[in-house]
Amino acid sequence: MQGTQHAGDQAKRVADPRLPRLPCSHLRRARLSAPRPTVVTMDEPLMEMVAGRPRAPLSPFVARYTGYRIEGAPPGMHRGLPSRHLTVIVTLNGTVDIATMPDPAQPSGSFTTLAGGLHAGPALISHNGYQHGIQLHLTPLGTRILLGLPAGELANTVVELDTLLGPVARELIERLRSASTWTARFGELDNILIRIARQQDGPAPELRWAWRRLIDHHGRMEVTTLASEVGWSRRHLAARFQREFGLTPKVAGRVMRFEVAHRLLRASQRPGLADVAVRAGFYDQAHLHREWRQLTGCTPARWLAEEFPSVHDRRTEGGGSSTA
């Protein structure tokens, strides 16, 4: 991600990625300084997406905020896709209804707030055409500092935020719902997160190095090379890495390559799938299709047809950085 600005400059409207496709003539965007009316007709859906950057002290912990408000869209189902960031959501109205968790053994659930760990499979999220909330994109270091545990303890799991933050989760709901603009909501988030940030050790230096190297190379590094660079055996690195982050180095690399392909497919000038495969580090288009199926449960073409655009998988243009 690029540098950050605060207050009014901190919030930027973006097109979104995981709700049902709507005709462009039906999309209405709100001004940041004047919230839109809450009543819209079903033939004129409202889709409002706002990207915000945390204040500088939070930048190692939170990559970005995404505010979303969808009203009057057709009910449907979309996929929560793998990412190198952990997810925290605070709803401003309604709930997030997860029909199938990243780990299918975890039962479905409805969440007013949630925290979700890294995963290498889709979550299936149902909606009734109305969604309103803020998503936080946490780095693994941010999970330790803000939530108080290693990212690995949340792997493939979704939990209510109050199980991790206690009364602070209720405070987040109340203060965010009381704020009348996205800029004010992002400011409330900044204030609360800075207040609850814990003084504690992060991941071991070797693990931070390995995570950073994978990000810098967009997942295109051999585990043997990583292990050699940190001075550990491949097996020791894999075990420590998975315990800290929730994914092995090999799977984390797959997720990061997937993110590159995901970003390319959302670009306004979308490359062909063969070009996407090469640029994202896959052997060929068939390899891209296999990986996409395993990580999302569908082919790239099907995802484009059924899922673009949607809310919770939004990545701002240019990709961005993550800090372990």
* Whether residues 17 and 53 fall in one domain: yes
Q: Is residue 313 part of a domain?
A: no
The structural domain count of the chain equals: 2
User: Which pLDDT does position 310 carry in this prediction?
Assistant: 52
* Whether residues 297 and 161 fall in one domain: no
* Whether residues 119 and 177 fall in one domain: yes
User: Which pLDDT does position 257 carry in this prediction?
Assistant: 96
* Whether residues 139 and 229 fall in one domain: no
Cα 37 from chain centroid (whole Å) = 27
Cα–Cα distance, 72 to 313 (Å, whole number): 20
Torsion-angle region of residue 78: left (phi > 0), alpha (psi -120 to 50) or beta? beta
User: Which pLDDT does position 306 carry in this prediction?
Assistant: 78
Contact partners, residue 228, CB within 8 Å, separation at least 6: none
Q: Which helix (H) or strand (E) holds 91?
A: strand 86-93
Kindly tell me the burial class for residue 231, based on how many C-beta atoms sit within 10 Å of its own C-beta (0-12, 13-18, 19 or more): exposed
Q: Is residue 314 part of a domain?
A: no
Cα–Cα distance, 182 to 188 (Å, whole number): 10
Per-residue pLDDT 10s for the chain (324 aa) are 334 344 344 444 443 433 333 333 333 333 333 333 333 334 578 889 999 999 999 999 999 999 999 998 889 888 899 999 999 999 999 999 999 999 989 999 999 999 999 999 999 999 999 999 999 999 999 999 999 999 999 999 999 999 999 999 999 999 999 999 999 999 999 999 999 998 888 899 999 999 999 999 999 999 999 999 999 999 999 999 999 999 999 999 999 999 999 999 988 888 999 999 999 999 999 999 999 999 999 999 888 887 655 545 544 433 344 445
* Whether residues 121 and 252 fall in one domain: no
CATH number at residue 165: 2.60.120.10
Q: Which helix (H) or strand (E) holds 110?
A: strand 109-111
Tokens representing 269? 């000038």
Q: Nearest Cα to 51, choosing from 315, 319, 232?
A: 315
User: Which pLDDT does position 288 carry in this prediction?
Assistant: 93
User: Which pLDDT does position 84 carry in this prediction?
Assistant: 97
* Whether residues 167 and 184 fall in one domain: yes
* Whether residues 123 and 173 fall in one domain: yes
* Whether residues 258 and 300 fall in one domain: yes
- How many CB atoms are closer than 10 A to CB 104? 12
* Whether residues 172 and 254 fall in one domain: no
* Whether residues 167 and 210 fall in one domain: no
Last residue of a domain, one of 152, 169, 196: 196
* Whether residues 183 and 233 fall in one domain: no
User: Which pLDDT does position 26 carry in this prediction?
Assistant: 32
User: Which pLDDT does position 201 carry in this prediction?
Assistant: 83
**Domain of 253?**
205-307
